[in-house]
A and B are shown apart, each in its own frame.
Chain A
């Protein structure tokens, strides 16, 4: 494919991400407040819509992103997940649970000095892929891991 066309698509993706994140104040030095939270990212009901909103529509699968999590989670209410990126200049990590009612679990912006190696516990409604969407050097990459859940952690 024509390389300049690819680059054009990529920068278009980054621009929409920048717009989305600027809207929620992620690039501004504003103090934390409830008002800066933009629920629209979390209202995306389809996975493809969400990934598009995050700017990663053309993300390439990468083996340099390591998702560490149990293959089988007994309790979907607490699934420990570690995401590590070995891609240089990783500055953003989003964690998605494909089959959750709200697929986006968390989106992290890494500023100065933080290693692209994050640990957190997520809820999973049912067995699903978890997806790490990483921005490194201005480009997007994804990795997936399948987790089987015995008891879902969303309803109850």
Chain B
């Protein structure tokens, strides 16, 4: 199981500003190890963000997203105390889901 995400959701004028920092190697599949062998790609492939359980943003990611990915987005209509949930799955089938309250 991967390490938890760091998440923050700050409310301003009815819009929640969400920042997510995921912990993932995001191996590109282009890199070679010391022996010259290609290191196989290992990266997050899907991300879903939900507000109070309802999906608001879906993403497909490739290997070109940086290690320990950062994602920033804003959601209208959020209120203090609402729950933002972020879920991801990687190409090895590992998955992780974390949530934060809008503050």
Residues of A within 8 A of B (CB): 24, 26, 29, 32-34, 36-37, 41-42, 77-80, 82, 97, 100-102, 104-115, 117-125, 153-156
Contact = CB atoms under 8 A, between A and B. Distances in A.
B28 A154 contact: yes
A119 B76 CA distance: 16
Contacts of A78: 66-67
A51 to B, nearest CB: 15
B98 interface: no
Given A101-B30, A106-B62, A121-B66, A111 B55 contact: yes
Interface string B9-43: 00000010000000000101011100000000000
Contacts of A34: 45, 89-93, 95
Contacts of A109: 57-59
B6 interface: no
A121 B65 contact: yes
Given A32-B46, A36-B46, A121-B69, A102 B63 contact: yes
A114 B66 contact: no
The interface centre, meaning the residue of A26, A77, A115, A121 with most chain B CB atoms within 10 A of its CB, is A121
Q: Interface residues of B: mostly helix, strand, loop or mixed?
A: strand
Contact of B60 (A24, A82, A110): A24
The interface centre, meaning the residue of B26, B78, B89 with most chain A CB atoms within 10 A of its CB, is B89
A155 B38 CA distance: 10
Given A154-B28, A154-B30, A156-B31, A108 B59 contact: yes
A78 B67 CA distance: 8
A26 B49 CA distance: 13
A42 to B, nearest CB: 5
Contacts of B80: none
A120 B63 contact: no
Given A36-B46, A114-B57, A156-B31, A97 B71 contact: no
B60 A26 contact: yes
A112 B56 contact: yes
A106 B64 CA distance: 8
Contact of B75 (A77, A115, A154): A115
B89 A119 contact: no
A123 B66 contact: yes
A80 B31 CA distance: 21
